[in-house]
Amino acid sequence: MAYYHNQCDSYFVESHVDQEKRFRDGLRERERRQKWETQLAIAEDLSQLTSCEYRDDVLQHMETMEGKTLPDVASIDIQTEIQWFMRPYLVDFLTEAHCAFGLIPETLFLTINLLDRYCSRRIVYKKHYQLVGCSALLIAAKYGDRKDRVPTIKELKQMCCGLYEEDMFTQMEWHVLQTLDWIIGHPTIDSFLQMALENVAYDPEVEHMACYISEIAMFQKEFVSKRPSDMARSSLALARCILCRPQASSTEWAAKYDSDTLFTLSKQLLRPSKVLHTKYQAPHLSRVSLILEDVLSRQASISKCYTNAPPTPPSEKCSEGFGNFPHNGTPGTPTKPSNLVPSMNNGCPTPPITPTHDEYFNVDQNPFKTNRNPGLGGIRRPPTPGSLPPFQQHAVPFSLPPISQMAPMF
C-alpha cells in the first residue's frame, strides 16, 4: 500500500479559483433575488390597479351571489328530528376540526353555509347530523383551501370516533353536492371583511375582533338568514366600537351597516362558546376574546355602580317653603306663609312678609290703634303698590257709592 509522504498544500485549503466561483454564485443569486422582488412589486401594483378598477363589479357580483345562496330558516324549523339546541354542539365540533387541520377562516364560514343550505332542502336525521357537517367541511376545504391541508376521510372518521364508515362520507359528500346543484361558491363574511378592510391601514385587532364576533353569530338562529354583507359591516362597526377605533366615513361601503343587526350582535357577546373563546385566546389572533371579556367586565362594573347609587331627593322639598309655582311657565312671586317672622325652610331663609292692605287701613276712628294687628303700633304707613287693587294703586283709599246712586255723566 502506497503512502504519500509529501504533504499536499491544496487538498484541505480552498484555492483562489473556488473563492472566485463562490463570489460569482453569490452575485448571480443576488441578481436573481432582485429580479424576483422587482417582479413581485410589479405584480402587486398591477393587482392593486386591477382591484381598484373591478372592485365595484366584484362587489356587485358578490352581493348577487349571496342572495342566491342564503339558507331558509323556516325550512329548517320544520325538521322532524334535529332541533336548534343541537346546533351549538355541531358548530363547536366543526370549529375544533377547522382549527385542528389549520384551514383558512373562509372555509369555516363556507362549511356552515353548506350545512344550513342542505338542511333547508333535505330532511336530516339526528344520527346523520354530524355526518352532514363533516361532509360540508370536506367540500369547503376542497373548494378554497390548500390541497395539503384538506382532511382525509380517514381523519374525519377518527374525529367522529368511528361512528360512520368511510364510504358513508363519500356518499354524503355526493348527496350534498347533488342537493345544492353543485353551487358551492358563496361570498362569506370573511370575504366581505377583506373587501371592507382593503383600502384602510392594517389593524390586526380590528380584523380578528370582527371575525370573532362573526363566528359568535354562527351559533345563533337569528343570523342564519342574514346576508353576509350586512353581517360583515355590522361586525366591523361593533369591533371598532369595542376597541375604540374610528368608524368608517359615511361614503364608504363599510359604513352602511344595519343598526338592528348591530344591536342584536351586541346582545350575543355576553355568552360566547367556550371552544370559540379558547380559540381566540391565541397570540396570533390578538387575544381578542380576552380583550372583549375585559371590556364587558368593565361595563358591568360601571352599570353596577350606577345601579347602587343613592336616589336623588325629590325637587318638591326644595320649594316647600316658597309656595307653589305657576304651571304655565310664566314667572310669578312665590306664595309665602302667613306669619311675619322670617323662617328657615330646608336651610333656605325666607324674607319678611310684606303687609297687606287690611293690615294698614282696617282701623277704628283712632288712627293710632289697629284692630287686627296691634303689633304695628298704630302708625299709618303708605301701602305697598303691589298690595292694593289695580284701581286703588297710587291713590287715597275711599269707598265708592253704589252704581245706582251715581248721577249720569252725560
Query: Which of 112-116, 133-137, 293-297 comes out lowest in average pLDDT?
Result: 293-297
- Nearest Cα residue to 235 out of 253, 275, 208: 208
The confidence band for 40, taking pLDDT boundaries of 50, 70 and 90, is confident
pLDDT in tens, 86-112: 999 999 999 999 999 999 999 999 999
Residues 171 and 83 in one domain: yes
* Strand residues in 187-263 grouped as ranges (E): none
266 contact partners, CB below 8 Å, separation of at least 6: 238
Residues 158 and 214 in one domain: no
pTM of the model: 0.65
The three-point CA angle 264-266-268 to 5° equals 80
- Nearest Cα residue to 106 out of 193, 44, 173, 174: 193
CATH code of the domain in which 250 resides: 1.10.472.10
Residues 196 and 292 in one domain: yes
Query: Which 8-state DSSP code applies to residue 162?
Result: T
Interhelix angle 87-101/105-121, rounded to 10 degrees, is 140
Mean pLDDT confidence for 156-169: 91
The reported pLDDT for the residue numbered 368 is 46
* First vs last C-alpha separation in the chain: 170
Query: How far from the centroid of its chain's Cα atoms is residue 279's Cα?
Result: 21
Residues 227 and 170 in one domain: no
CA distances from 37 to 34, 41, 50, 51, 392 (A): 5, 6, 20, 21, 104
Residue at a domain's end among 127, 150, 179: 179
Q: Which residues of 210-224 are buried (b: 16+ CB within 10 A; e: fewer)?
A: bbbbbbbbbbbeebb
Q: What are phi and psi of 206, to 5 degrees?
A: -65, -45
Residues 220 and 252 in one domain: yes
Residue 60 lies inside a defined structural domain of this protein:
no
Residue 313 lies inside a defined structural domain of this protein:
no
The confidence band for 354, taking pLDDT boundaries of 50, 70 and 90, is low
Reply yes or no on whether the pLDDT at 44 is more than 80.
no
Query: Which of 55-69, 185-199, 357-371 comes out lowest in average pLDDT?
Result: 357-371
Mean pLDDT confidence for 220-247: 91
Query: Which 8-state DSSP code applies to residue 225?
Result: T
Residues 89 and 132 in one domain: yes
106 vs 328, residue with greater confidence: 106
Grid coordinates given for 305: 355602580
CB 88 within 8 A of CB 273: yes
Residue 165 lies inside a defined structural domain of this protein:
yes
| CA–CA gap between residue 185 and residue 114 (Å, rounded) | 10
Interhelix angle 259-267/228-242, rounded to 10 degrees, is 60
Residue 17 lies inside a defined structural domain of this protein:
no
Query: Which 8-state DSSP code applies to residue 57?
Result: H
Query: How far from the centroid of its chain's Cα atoms is residue 91's Cα?
Result: 23
Residues 193 and 172 in one domain: no
Residue 158 lies inside a defined structural domain of this protein:
yes
Residue 112 lies inside a defined structural domain of this protein:
yes
The confidence band for 291, taking pLDDT boundaries of 50, 70 and 90, is very high
CB 121 within 8 A of CB 75: yes
Q: Please, where are the H alpha helices in 69-161?
A: 73-77, 87-101, 105-121, 129-144, 153-159
* Strand residues in 230-383 grouped as ranges (E): 344-345, 348-349
Residue with cell 298704630: 378
Mean of all residue pLDDT scores within the chain: 78
Residues 143 and 169 in one domain: yes
343 contact partners, CB below 8 Å, separation of at least 6: 321, 337, 349, 350
The reported pLDDT for the residue numbered 317 is 46
Domain range spanning residue 239?
A: 189-307
Residue at a domain's end among 307, 340, 368: 307
When divided into structural domains, the chain yields a total of 2
Residue 233 lies inside a defined structural domain of this protein:
yes
Residues 79 and 151 in one domain: yes
216 contact partners, CB below 8 Å, separation of at least 6: 265, 268, 269, 272, 273, 276
Amino acid letter for position 388? L
In the chain, DSSP finds a helix count (H) and a strand count (E) of 14, 2
The three-point CA angle 284-189-83 to 5° equals 100
Query: Which 8-state DSSP code applies to residue 324?
Result: P
